[in-house]
Structure formats: C-alpha cells, structure tokens
Amino acid sequence: MNTGQLLRGATAFIAVLSLVSSTAKAKVDVSPKDYQVAESLQKVFESVAEKVKPAVVNISTVSEVRVSHPPIPPEFRDFFHEFGIPFPQFPNKFKTRALGSGFIVKVKDGWAYILTNNHVVANAKKIRVKLSDGSVYKAKVVGKDPKTDVALIKIKVGNKKVPVVELGDSNNIKVGEFVIAVGNPYGLNWTVTHGIVSAKGRHGLGLNPIEDFIQTDAAINPGNSGGPLCDIHGKVIGINSAIVREAQGLGFAVPINIAKKVMNDLLKYGKVIRGWLGVYIEDVSPDLAQKFNVKGGVLVTKVMPGSPAEKGGLKSGDIIVKYNGEDVKNVADLQLKVINTPPGRRVPVTIIRDGKTMVLNVKIGQMPGTENLATVDLMSKFGLSVQKLTPELRKRLGIPNWVKNGVIVTSVKPGSPAEDAGLREGDIIVEAGITPRSLKPVRKVDDLIKVIKQSGSSGVLLKVVRGEGVFYVVLKPEE
C-alpha cells in the first residue's frame, strides 16, 4: 500500500467518525403530547388484556392414534421361535397429547360454554380445561364443525362465577385495524400479542372446506389455536385458527360471525344447518368476462338434477351476478351467502343468460349431508352407529313384521360401552328412556339422541329386538 492509498483511507475513516459523532449528538425532540399518545395506546392494550384474559382457557387433550403394521414374514416368526424368544408385540394404537386455547362465551344452567377450533378437540378422548384462576375441569363436546374448524365444548361450573367474553361483529372490521390475540402458544399460558388486520376474506388456502379468514400479523403460534382475536374494545372478532409455517407474521382467524352461527345452530338443533343451491361454479376470469360480455359474477358450470337451482330455473352457462340483492364477488362470496341463508327461504338470484339480465326466484334447500356432528359425537362415545329402519333394510334383513319402528345398529366398536351392554350389529332399538316408565318409541335417530342427551352419567335404558326375541340393556357412557 502506497502513501496515497494510506491518506485516502485515513480521510475516509475521519469522515465516518465525523458522521457518527454528528449522529450521536443529534437530538430528537419529544413533546409531552407525544408521550400522551403513546401512553393512551398502551392503556388500550392493557385494558383489552385485563378484560379478555380471564375468559380465555387452556385446553389440553388426549387422543388415540391407531396404526397399521405391515404383515410379518413367517421366516421372522420362525427365527424367534427357534431360539425360544417371545415374538415382540407391536402396539396398534398409542396416545398423543396436545394443547390449544378457547374462550368462554356463555354460562347457562351451571354450564360454561367455550368456543375453540375443531382441530383442537377433533379426535380427543379426554379434554381438560384450565381456567385463569388455575382450576381444572373435564370438558364435554357440544358439537363440532370441520367445514369451518369451529367447535363448542362445555364444562360444569355450577354456581361458580366465571368471566365471559363479549362477541363483536366481524363484518364491520377494517383492514389496518389494531387487533389483540390471546392464547397459550407452546404452553405459555395467557400470552397476549398485538398487530393489525392484514386482510379480510382470505380463501383458497386449502385449510378448511369453508374459508373466509381474517389475516393478521399478530403473533400466532402452535397452542394459540382456538383463542380469541379481539378489537381494541376487547370484543372478539375471530378465532385464531392457522399459521403459515413457512412464513413469519402470517396468521389466520375464523370470523366470529361464522362461529356464532355454528354455535347457535349446535345449541338449538344439535347440528349445523346450511343453505344449499346445488350448482357447480367457477370464478369469471378476464378472458371469460370478455367471452360472456360481463364484468363480474360467477359462472354456473353444472346444475345438479333435482336441486333448488334446477327447480328455480338456473342453467349451465348462466352468470350469477347478484344474490338476494347483493353483488356476487367470487365463488367464495356466493358460497358464504348461500350457506348462511335459512333453508326454505326464497331468494332473488340475478343472472345474465345469453347477454340478457334475468331475476330468478329460488327456494334455497338444506345442504345434503349437513353434519349432525353433535349426534355423531354422542354416538361415538358409546361405540356404536345406528340408522333409521327403512323398508329396504327391513326386507333385506328379514326384520319381523311386528317390528313397526326403530333404529338399526349398523356397527359396534370392540371394547366400547355398547359392546359391554351386549349390543350387536343388526339389533333394532325400538324404545329408549331414562327409567322403565319413561320409555318411548324410537322412530328415528334423533329420538334416541334426545334421550341420550337427557340421561347423563346414569345411562339410558333401551328396549332391543334381536331376531324374534326382545330384551333390555342399559347403555352407559364411558368413564
């Protein structure tokens, strides 16, 4: 290095030192008003945390996972036998434990009702709920809805006063609003994080069959699932549901308005009721819009035979641009509008057909296979499945003519309460009650479910027909 290079290096170093020195001496003027603004925002977050945290719960579950082992070649078994070594037995099931969050939304008749995610409790054999005061309770599933990833569970609190969250209106939130998430990430109980609403109406993520997510950058991690996403007033606007593991700062919450409908349906009907139109649809791309000479809407690609859409006059090739007077933005938007319409209601559907605008009056039906998830859950606890006794089943199974009504047992799980009670596949349950005097005819599955719900831990008395014989059993829930 020559003298010139040394001088240039020294000059540059002195310049950097001068810049650092001037920067260090720079003064930022902060007025008392600036501090007041920051303190006011801080107090808002503190207020929300104090208001919401007591109603947030920690949910721990125990699930049973079954595994299938490949067949063992005979030569391996012979090897162990030859040397007198017992052949190892591989377990075909094992237990897993998981953590999640939830929040108390209602207290009635000594029961506290808790909203959470379906995936938190979906396959759980045991569910325990820990409240903010440290008390722990066994929880029961009221109902589950995999389509929206929402579940409702309950705990028996008796006369104990427990805090309840206030539910907001997710339809009124704006992108950019502050939000606060509360939950138990990685088992770190009652963690509070904050961020903003990054986007609304996110769909097509492949997380749920029905998607209308709120996207947020509030920190959400495993264990947050089922916890509340709140606005700055402490009202719950969503249920924290999912994260994108490959990215930072991307969290998704189920809008509380969707969860409220699921909750209300489960409490009122024991299942989720959804409207049904009966069409296959796709978004109108710019190319399709040009070909069909439209500006938006969704394209009907197929109409299901016998569906409300067919009865209402919809045809393949129609462009649905309005539903019940509201513009149709895309496929997800129309799906949400339809499923939230009570079955039986007539709705004006505006379409464009061959360049002409038409309004059809369509009577919305009920979605086929609408999940009677509370029923499925109740029946699974006893280890049996049943279905209504139809004329076809009566003829195929040779059911005696004197058996007029009932539900037929279609399967019994080994080791279940149903098997312990002596029930078998093919049995006909004709009457059910809590006591002999309260026995009533079972004409459909809901009749049986109604009695099971009322029976509690005492079990339900069943009158059963098997072949030409009749007997009684007491079906008790698993301890």
- At residue 373, the pLDDT reads 41
| pLDDT per residue as tens digits for the range 186-221 | 878 888 999 999 999 887 777 777 888 899 988 888
User: Which of 366, 384, 407 is the endpoint of a domain?
Assistant: 366
Q: Band of the pLDDT at 105, cuts 50, 70, 90?
A: very high
Q: At what angle do helices 445-455 and 373-382 cross, to 10 degrees?
A: 70
Mean of the pLDDT values across residues 6-31? Answer: 55
Q: Note whether residue 299 is domain-resident.
A: yes
One domain, residues 149 and 100: yes
By the 8 A CB rule, do 464 and 471 touch?
yes
One domain, residues 67 and 149: yes
Q: Band of the pLDDT at 3, cuts 50, 70, 90?
A: very low
- pLDDT at position 397 over 90: no
Torsion angle, alpha carbons of 381, 384, 388, 392, to 10: 160
How crowded is residue 415: how many other Cβ atoms within 10 Å of its Cβ?
10
Instruction: Kindly give, in sequence order, each residue whose CB lies less than 8 Å from that of residue 147, ignoring residues fewer than 6 positions away.
Output: 208, 209, 210, 272, 371
Dmax over CA atoms of the chain, in Å, equals 116
User: Which of 219, 234, 269 is the endpoint of a domain?
Assistant: 269
Q: 34 among the known binding-site residues?
A: no
The residues that bridge with 141 in the sheet, in sequence order, are 153
Q: Note whether residue 184 is domain-resident.
A: yes
In whole numbers, what is the pLDDT of the chain averaged over residues? Answer: 82
| pLDDT per residue as tens digits for the range 432-456 | 998 888 899 998 888 888 888 777 7
| pLDDT per residue as tens digits for the range 249-260 | 688 999 999 999
Instruction: Kindly give, in sequence order, each residue whose CB lies less than 8 Å from that of residue 166, ignoring residues fewer than 6 positions away.
Output: 234, 235, 236
CATH number, domain with residue 293: 2.30.42.10
- At residue 250, the pLDDT reads 82
One domain, residues 400 and 443: yes
One domain, residues 305 and 331: yes
**Distance from C-alpha of 120 to C-alpha of 102, rounded to nearest angstrom:** 9
Q: Note whether residue 29 is domain-resident.
A: no
Q: Note whether residue 288 is domain-resident.
A: yes
- pLDDT at position 372 over 50: no
Which two structure tokens, joined as six digits, stand for 40?
């006011």
Q: Note whether residue 8 is domain-resident.
A: no
One domain, residues 205 and 184: yes
One domain, residues 142 and 171: no
Q: 221 among the known binding-site residues?
A: no
| pLDDT per residue as tens digits for the range 147-199 | 889 999 999 999 999 999 999 999 999 999 999 999 888 878 888 999 999 99
Q: Note whether residue 324 is domain-resident.
A: yes
Q: Note whether residue 300 is domain-resident.
A: yes
Catalytic residues, by residue number, are 119, 149, 225
Provide the domain limits for residue 307.
275-366
One domain, residues 237 and 315: no
Q: 285 among the known binding-site residues?
A: no
Which two structure tokens, joined as six digits, stand for 215?
């996207």
pTM of the model: 0.67
Q: 22 among the known binding-site residues?
A: no
Q: Percent of the chain, pLDDT > 70?
A: 83
- At residue 267, the pLDDT reads 86
User: Which of 344, 366, 388 is the endpoint of a domain?
Assistant: 366
Handedness of CA 193, 198, 200, 205 (dihedral sign): negative
Number of domains in the chain: 4
Q: Note whether residue 232 is domain-resident.
A: yes
Give CA separation, 355 vs 268, 295, 317, 318, in Å: 44, 12, 11, 10
One domain, residues 183 and 246: yes
One domain, residues 110 and 149: yes
| pLDDT per residue as tens digits for the range 118-129 | 989 987 888 999
Q: Band of the pLDDT at 458, cuts 50, 70, 90?
A: confident
Please compute Rg for the chain using Cα positions.
30
Q: 316 among the known binding-site residues?
A: no
Q: Band of the pLDDT at 68, cuts 50, 70, 90?
A: low
One domain, residues 382 and 359: no
One domain, residues 242 and 280: no
One domain, residues 181 and 146: no
Angle at the Cα of 207 (from 145 to 316), degrees rounded to 5?
85
CATH number, domain with residue 229: 2.40.10.10
How crowded is residue 338: how many other Cβ atoms within 10 Å of its Cβ?
24
